Amino acid sequence: MNTKNLSFRTRSIHVGSNRDPQTGAVVPPIHVASTYVLPGAGEPSEFDYARTGNPSRQRLEQLVASLEGGVGGLAYSSGMAATHGAMMLLKQGDHVIAGADIYGGTYRLLHKVLNQAGIEVSLVDTRQIHRLDQAARDNTRMLWLESPGNPLMSITDLEQCCRWAKSRKILVGVDNTFATPVLTRPLEFGADIVMHSATKYLGGHSDALGGVLVTSQTEILERLHFFQNAVGNVMSPWDAYLVGRGIKTLELRVREQSSTALRLAEFLSQHPRVRSVNYPGLEQHPGYEIARRQMDGAFGAMISFEAGDDFSQAKTMVESTGLFQLAVSLGAVESLIEQPASMSHAAYDREDRLAHGITDSLVRISVGLESFDDLKADLSQALDSMD
Ligand SMILES: Cc1ncc(COP(=O)(O)O)c(C=O)c1O
């Protein structure tokens, strides 16, 4: 089937999901084989060994590449493995500029792993283009962005940053985990690589671990595949199946969860025990206008807010919810709550964390598919528990 001209929602269901020609099964089988019979000794075949390629993984790669509008994709064992896969394009002596509002694990990879390979990093507030000018060096090779950022929900103008980077021949990678391709497709703004923690919205049900890279350029895809095959960092067929199944409902989930999130953000911003709310769908959010342009009709389902006065009050709050489960991760049908300072961003050095505005009283929620009324009641009683 030619799927090129089909809408996003239809492609989510049909790309990579061709019926099984042997049996007519509507859902393709999960291919578990680790090795494949060759037509002859030394003769090439589409699949030869599962580290190099696997049909279940390939189906997912084609699907995410279609949704992101890239030439191809690669599926990894986790989101961090995918980020690391992209960073393997760098070599000793190169410099990376990354957003200041990024996932704690990416911070750790850059500051505590890649630095050992002689790769330098600067964290920059990517909302301000002059800060990129200040940070750029002759050896800057990559700009790594997140929008909305994690956990402060900062909005970076992707088009502006990509234009800036292109003029300096700097590669742009965007961690699109929070926005998903339903709301933002970074390659359309000029990014070279898009990364997903497929563990989150793509999978959507808290039951699979994986990461995906999609790129707009065949040459980059080939290099990424060379590194992936050399290192062996691949997604399992079972996870590829689960993530692909999750993607069939991605648009419905993301739009519904975003609409509940907007209502919860409005509720939180009126609450006396909440000092501030970070949600790009609120008009008072500094990135609201950019988000309206860059995000397709909704603002995502992640919110962060300052609860109470200090670390221990915020801790009490996150430990007092019932429906919002106290857990890292995000993007699934069930709502989650966490305290970045002690959980998702605990990998930050404390001074760096505070300098980047990730305070002790910050709380982050991932809004799931439960009803607005039930989620509001749950947050309300947890905020009251701080008294
Ligand atoms: C924005 C973002 N990027 C990357 C990751 C890493 O993904 P994974 O946990 O699948 O390795 C996460 C995980 O929480 C994340 O939130």
Residue 260 CB-density burial (10 A; 0-12 exposed, 13-18 middle, 19+ buried): buried
Q: State the pLDDT at residue 347.
A: 80
Catalytic residue positions, numbered: 51, 103, 175, 200
Mean of all residue pLDDT scores within the chain: 96
Q: Is the separation of the CB atoms in 194 and 147 below 8 Å?
A: no
Task: Compute, in degrees rounded to 10, the torsion defined by CA atoms 265, 178, 105, 307.
Answer: 0
More confident residue, 2 or 94: 94
* Mean pLDDT of all residues in 71-81: 98
* Mean pLDDT of all residues in 340-350: 87
Partners of 323 in the beta sheet?
A: none
pLDDT over 80 (residue 133): yes
Cis peptide before 151 (omega within 30 of 0): yes
Rounded Cα–Cα distance for residues 47 and 32 (Å): 12
Q: State the pLDDT at residue 370.
A: 98
pLDDT over 80 (residue 53): yes
195 alpha carbon to ligand 1 midpoint, in Å?
A: 10
- Locate the ligand 1 atom nearest the alpha carbon of residue 344 and give its number: 14
- Reported as a pLDDT band with limits 50, 70 and 90, residue 311 is very high
Which helix (DSSP H) or strand (DSSP E) does residue 256 occupy? helix 250-270
| Selection from 296, 73, 302 nearest residue 198 by Cα | 73
| Selection from 113, 131, 178 nearest residue 331 by Cα | 178
- Locate the ligand 1 atom nearest the alpha carbon of residue 177 and give its number: 1
* Mean pLDDT of all residues in 81-96: 98
Q: State the pLDDT at residue 4.
A: 80
- Write out the two tokens for 28: 């393709």
Q: Is the separation of the CB atoms in 123 and 98 below 8 Å?
A: yes
* Mean pLDDT of all residues in 111-136: 96
- Reported as a pLDDT band with limits 50, 70 and 90, residue 230 is very high
Residues with CB under 6 A from ligand 1: 78-80, 103, 105, 146, 150, 175, 177-178, 197, 199, 209, 211, 329
Rounded Cα–Cα distance for residues 362 and 377 (Å): 20
Q: State the pLDDT at residue 132.
A: 97
Under CATH, which number does the domain 250-384 receive?
A: 3.90.1150.10
Q: What is the pLDDT of residues 351-376, one digit of tens each?
A: 888 988 899 999 999 999 999 999 99
If one residue of 64, 76, 77, 80 were mutated to test the ligand 1 pocket, choosing by the most ligand atoms within 8 A of its CB, it would be 80
Domain borders along the chain are 8-247, 250-384
Partners of 122 in the beta sheet?
A: 97
Under CATH, which number does the domain 8-247 receive?
A: 3.40.640.10
- Reported as a pLDDT band with limits 50, 70 and 90, residue 345 is confident
